[in-house]
Amino acid sequence: MKRLTALLAILVVAGSGAWWFATRIPASPFDGAAPAAATPLERGEYVARLGDCVACHSTEHGAPFAGGLPMGTPLGTIFATNITPDRETGIGGYTLSQFDNAVRRGIGADGRRLYPAMPYPSYARMSDEDVRALYDYFQRHVQPVRQANQASHIPWPLNMRWPLAFWNLVFAPTRPYQAAPQRDAAWNRGAYLVEGAGHCGSCHTPRGLAMQEVALDSSDPRYLSGALLDGWYAPSLRGDPNSGLGRWSEEEIFAYLKRGRNRHSVVFGSMMEAFNNSTQFMTDDDLRGIARYLKSLPGDPARDGAPWQYDPATRTALASPATLAASPGARGYMARCGTCHGADGQGRGEWIPPLAGASSLLAPDAASAINITLNGAGRVVAGGVADAYRMPSLRNQINDREVAEILSFIRTAWGNRGGAVTEEQVAKLRSQTNPASSDVIVLQMR
């Protein structure tokens, strides 16, 4: 009986301690600080652009930052929250320390844990100065909108938030970015932006069994090595020559982030949204810092294989009636794709991207190729001007078998080694995705 009593006492103490830890609100460097002084609008708005806050917390036809955007997760759908300064439905009642805890630690003002779809494991690296400027921007310069938040579609008990305290303990860092003394200022600025505010790893880093990013910085070779997310395959941003940036120069990375295109690719999918609302608004110095940092990340030859080389035999074969008669994929390509992308697979300069050597066609996962074929691409908007060219949706023009045949051909043409696509893969993404909007999507921030 004494042992049982002692065991129960230990369990009560341990349970109380665990509950205290799960529900406590950690300290913020802004605790007890005087109300934040106003900062220039441009400073806070720029930090918001760095973090691409508007893309997740706005809907296409809704008010800026009013929330409501559905976000698919393996557990169910969640909805981005209202982060306008409305005091009833937004964050107008947040103090600076409460705002800091939400942004960098994933804890709301009421102590509720935020789902890590909010990229606070990356935002944890943001500086105090940037958090203060961001708070000032949302409190003083964003128009308040009264719009209630939507409940998630995650069923009980998976929707319980308190276990996230222990998830954070294991997977979420707590210190702002620390500059690497052996690197120059441009590299460190790029690292700060990529690992912190830009939260590039949220899409481009693989996830573990607990749905955590398996790495959060350049010290781990898995960081930014490519990942499947919400119907798209975000390619490696490391020096991988096939699925990554190994064949891109620093200048080409800069151009892609600045103009949304280079000789290798045009932004599409989630990256199109990031370009339209974030990267094109960054300073040239910041974009060059990002390019410097990304270009320093080594690839993995064992993962990526021998570097891709162009094979002209496909162009010759496509000119042969016998090849077209024998290959449904080749026939479909010439009928549906060849006019724009060419028999040589080289596209049309920077305006229509090449398919020969494209990372989405060399990647191990065909999701991006299937998704854009079915659903098309949204409008790329650079400097306020919408792109005149876009990949159209073929969803209602060809069936799953035909999509699989065409993509299997493309992923093995011109030296591409992405491999075949199955009809079942196409059917699955068809059921889970929707056509891209034809509207110009550059969300206003004020």
Locate 278 and state its tokens.
């974030």
Q: What is the DSSP string of 161-186?
A: -TTHHHHHHHH---S-----TTS-HH
Cis status of the peptide bond prior to 157, with omega within 30 of 0? yes
238 contact partners, CB below 8 Å, separation of at least 6? 221, 223, 224, 225, 244, 245, 246, 294, 297, 298, 299, 300
User: 129, 154, 150, 125: which is closest to 57 by C-alpha?
Assistant: 150
C-alpha to C-alpha distance for 411 and 341, rounded to whole angstroms: 14
Query: Tokens 């990031």 identify what position?
Result: 274
**What are the b/e assignments for 229-268, b being 16+ CB within 10 Å?**
bebbbbbbbbbbbbbbbbbbebebbbbbbbbbbbbbbbbb
User: 49, 42, 3, 40: which is closest to 280 by C-alpha?
Assistant: 49
Residue 203 among known ligand-binding residues: yes
313 contact partners, CB below 8 Å, separation of at least 6? none
C-alpha to C-alpha distance for 213 and 398, rounded to whole angstroms: 36
C-alpha to C-alpha distance for 123 and 431, rounded to whole angstroms: 33
- Say how many Å lie between the first and final Cα of the chain, rounded: 67
Q: Residue 264 in contact with residue 244, Cβ under 8 Å?
A: no
User: On the CB side of 210, how many CA atoms lie within 13 Å of its CA?
Assistant: 15
Residue 204 among known ligand-binding residues: yes
Residue 56 among known ligand-binding residues: yes
Q: Residue 111 in contact with residue 23, Cβ under 8 Å?
A: yes
Secondary structure class of 291 (helix, strand, coil) = helix
C-alpha to C-alpha distance for 242 and 305, rounded to whole angstroms: 8
Residue 199 among known ligand-binding residues: no
Residue 61 among known ligand-binding residues: no
C-alpha to C-alpha distance for 360 and 370, rounded to whole angstroms: 10
Q: Residue 388 in contact with residue 381, Cβ under 8 Å?
A: no
Q: What are phi and psi of 77, to 5 degrees?
A: -90, 135
Q: Annotated binding site: which residue ranges?
A: 53, 56-57, 200, 203-204, 337, 340-341
Q: Annotated binding site for heme c: which residue ranges?
A: 53, 56-57, 200, 203-204, 337, 340-341
